Amino acid sequence: MVVCAIHSGCKALDLPERFLKIVEEIKGERVRGAAWSARKAAEAFITLAESGDPGSRGMERAASMIIEANPGMASLYNVARLVMEAYAQDGIRGVDEAARRFIEYQSEASRKIALEAQKILPRGIVVATISFSSNVYAALAYAGGKLGKAVVLESRPGGEGVFLAKELKRRRVEVELVPDSSMHVFLKDVDLVLVGADTVTWDACLYNKVGTRLLIEAAKRREIPVTGVFEAYKIHPAKKCGEVEPVATEYEVEGYGTIITPLFDHTPPALIDAMITSSGVSEYTAPALRRIYREFYAEILGSEDK
């Protein structure tokens, strides 16, 4: 069954109902982040391909809807961009193949990142982090009992860090869950800060859950090294620092009313020492990021861009 997303401005362009439902899922998600959203976007395009060719205008509308589900998220932009180029090359079959290759790449990249991270996680190390990054989780869970401790900020509002701490405890990692406002107290025992990323701009600004920049700035004052951990598809080839669309959330405080706060902040490259991607551990610079992105793009489509 297909329906026309009139409310989204598709007019006479019919798109599969399942595709539209996945778009709504992505729009509403605020915890599981960029990796989850990217996989859902790829699944949406597989669903679209299985429903038949919607034509070039239909594909353009579908790609726009995926990007608009969270305009600042590089992973959505990259999935949409990849499938549109695949469509131009091989039609609807190309869309299905590119989306499936992306899912395979995503699974393998996550595994490689967790393994690469072990190079900078010696026995007894104390690591601090914020929010819930699937890559940070995988790296710390793989390290397991050899870690001295994981210091996890609660990551309010939203409390994604609480979820991370619970998951790490289940993997028998020693965890200390701390309020965001207490980070200065607990950093005195920390050896390394690991942070994930929702988006990394072309000039190397790292966007992540609000509070990330405060954690990094506090770490730098104590001369604690900071490493970003993310996949290449979180690099945005069309955005520079300050150009990522802000996303806000709101919550109620009893006796006061509604508080509106940004969900993400950005950290300039000068404050980040290194990065871990599926290509390994390397210095955190814009040229290095661009090389990694081009390698990713070539792997999915067999051609380089930008």
Average pLDDT for runs of 10 along the chain of length 306: 39 78 87 86 96 94 95 93 96 96 94 97 98 95 96 94 96 96 94 97 97 98 97 96 90 94 95 97 97 93 58
Predicted confidence at residue 30, as pLDDT, reads: 63
Predicted confidence at residue 194, as pLDDT, reads: 98
Q: Write out the H or E segment, with its range, that includes residue 116.
A: helix 74-117
* Residue 109 contacts residue 278 (beta carbons within 8 Å): yes
* Residue 231 contacts residue 104 (beta carbons within 8 Å): no
- The architecture CATH gives domain 2-111: Up-down Bundle (1.20)
Predicted confidence at residue 65, as pLDDT, reads: 97
The one-letter code for the residue type at 283 is E
Region for 243 from its dihedrals, namely left if φ exceeds 0, alpha if ψ lies in -120 to 50, beta otherwise: alpha
- Hunting for tokens 């950093």 — which residue is that? 187
- Mode of pairing for the β-strands spanning 274-277 and 199-201: unpaired
* Residue 37 contacts residue 76 (beta carbons within 8 Å): yes
Quote the pTM value. Answer: 0.89
Q: Maximum Cα–Cα distance for the chain, whole Å?
A: 60
114-301 shares the fold of 2-111: no
Predicted confidence at residue 301, as pLDDT, reads: 86
Q: d(Cα 144, Cα 131) in Å, to the nearest integer? A: 19
Q: d(Cα 102, Cα 82) in Å, to the nearest integer? A: 9
Q: d(Cα 2, Cα 100) in Å, to the nearest integer? A: 22
Q: Write out the H or E segment, with its range, that includes residue 274.
A: strand 274-277
The domain locations on the chain are 2-111, 114-301
Confirm or reject CATH 3.40.50.10470 for domain 114-301, answering yes or no: yes
Residue 147 CB: number of other CB atoms within 10 A? 22
